[in-house]
Amino acid sequence: KELRIGVVGTGAIGRTHLERINTQLQGGRVVAVSDVNKEFGKSVAEKYGCKFFEDGEELINSDEVDAIIVTTIDAYHEQYVSASIKAGKYVFCEKPLAAEKEGTKRIVDLEMAGGKKLVTVGFMRRYDPGYKQLKKLVEERTYGEPLMLHCAHRNYGVDESYDNSMPVENSMIHEIDVLRWLLDEDYATAEVVYPKKTKYAHEKLQDPQIMILTTKSGVRIDVEAFINSHYGYDIKCEVCCEEGIVNLPEPANAMVRTKAARITPICEDWSQRFVEAYNVELQEWINAVKAGRVDGPSSWDGYVGAITASAASKARDSQTIVKIEMEECPDFYK
């Protein structure tokens, strides 16, 4: 039987998730949508033959819906994830799990109180084939212990709605999650330094920024966020191990020889770069939910991501090195 999915928030990523589920993936169908922008939400519902709910919580509690996807703006994530937990339904929430770190902790507590894991957080990089290759090599210690990581997160450009907290909280939050998963350990300290500013950054944004993390065992990570790189969307990750250096593979694009140059195109944005990761992520979520479990990034991962990002934000604003302190991982999430 098909999993009947309800999507709360039909803006950019909600709509693409809906489309991939209803046209490419198997075993699930988006049957209901809701959006605060009613006209827009209704037009999406009509286009994909879904039922439109004026109210997100009504959709969540409807007996026509088995599982929920939350793709609203960040400020509403906590409300709808909590409503799904209370309804006893599996819920997939785009990152971040909540707008504030306190909200992620409230979700962890609510989920634990209910006694059943229901929440998955959309940290899609864990499903990228390239990161999976790195994970296998690191896990098996094929080239010995990882010692240092050099990473870059480059976007083509952003407008003024992208503020100075966002390189950490909105962009490098992906590295915070995926590198912790890759190394299988938590972080100890965070620091953020400001290189010389690009002329393409708006007045209130320091761009680039470099975030430096150390893990509990002493691995040192630097991540360059260059959000107005002005050339494309480019994600780099170099893992320096004792016996070899491993680099994140890039998506394969045909190389072209033209005008006395060799050109290999680079992706334009994240939706292109991680398209396969999104497909695998949602297919695995559907499969797991149908089998009555969840196995992707959990609300605990959402909580750890938020705590780490908030420490990095504090480090950025105070221009100091900040210790990352959090609670012990409960057995519930181990």
Q: At closest approach, how far in Å is the CB of 152 from ligand ISE?
A: 11
Closest-CA residue to 130 (of 332, 10, 275, 297): 275
In the bound state with ligand ISE, the residue whose beta carbon lies nearer, of 71 and 82, is 71
Tokens of 259: 């005008």
Dihedral in degrees, nearest 10, Cα atoms 123, 293, 3, 87: -90
Q: Is 292 left (phi over 0), alpha (psi -120 to 50) or beta?
A: left
Specify the stretch interacting with ligand ISE by CB under 6 A; choose among 41-49, 61-69, 167-175, 249-257: 167-175
Query: Which one, 2 or 163, has the nearer CB to ligand ISE?
Result: 163
Nearest residue to ligand ISE, scored by beta-carbon proximity: 171
Residue 165 vs residues 146, 225, 295, 312, 314: alpha-carbon distances, Å: 29, 12, 30, 10, 10
Binding mask 196-225 toward ligand ISE (x if CB under 6 A, else -) reads: ------------------------------
> Shortest approach of ligand ISE to residue 212 CB, angstroms?
19
Strands (E), 37-186: 51-53, 67-70, 90-94, 119-122, 146-154
Q: What are phi and psi of 192, to 5 degrees?
A: -135, 125
Nearer to ligand ISE, 164 or 171 (CB): 171
Q: How far is CA 82 from CA 97, 119, 174, 309, in A?
A: 10, 10, 23, 22
Task: Return the residues of window 87-116 that contact ligand ISE according to CB under 6 A.
Answer: none
State which residue, 65 or 308, has the beta carbon closest to ligand ISE.
Answer: 308
Among 10, 171, 209, 298, binds ligand ISE (CB under 6 A): 171
Q: Is 174 in the site for ligand ISE (CB under 6 A)?
A: yes
Name the nearest CA neighbour of 249 among 133, 150, 142. Answer: 133
DSSP assignment of 17-51: HHHHHHHT-SSEEEEEEE-SSHHHHHHHHHHHT-E
Q: Which is nearer to ligand ISE, 17 or 174 (CB)?
A: 174
| Least separation in angstroms between CB 244 and ligand ISE | 28
Scanning 168-176, 260-268, 281-289, 300-308 for contacts with ligand ISE by CB under 6 A, the matching segment is 168-176
Q: Which of residues 134-163 bind ligand ISE (CB under 6 A)?
A: 155
We find the least distance from the C-beta atom of residue 145 to ligand ISE, in angstroms, to be 29
Measured in Å, how far apart are the chain's first and last C-alpha atoms?
30
Under rule CB under 6 A, which residues in 295-324 are in contact with ligand ISE?
A: none
Binders of ligand ISE among residues 246 to 275 (CB under 6 A) are: 270
Pick one of 84, 120, 170, 215: the residue that binds ligand ISE (CB under 6 A): 170
Q: Return the bridge partners of 248, or none.
A: none
CB 155 → ligand ISE: shortest distance, Å? Answer: 5
Of 12 and 147, the one with the shorter C-beta distance to ligand ISE is: 12
Q: Read off φ and ψ for residue 300, nearest 5 degrees.
A: -65, -45
Count interface residues toward ligand ISE (CB under 6 A).
5
**HSE-CB for 30 with a 13 A CA cutoff:** 34
Q: Give the Cα separation of 80 and 198 in Å (integer).
A: 38
Residue 10 engages ligand ISE in binding (rule: CB under 6 A): no
Check binding of 72 to ligand ISE (CB under 6 A).
Answer: no
Positions that interact with ligand ISE (CB under 6 A): 155, 170-171, 174, 270
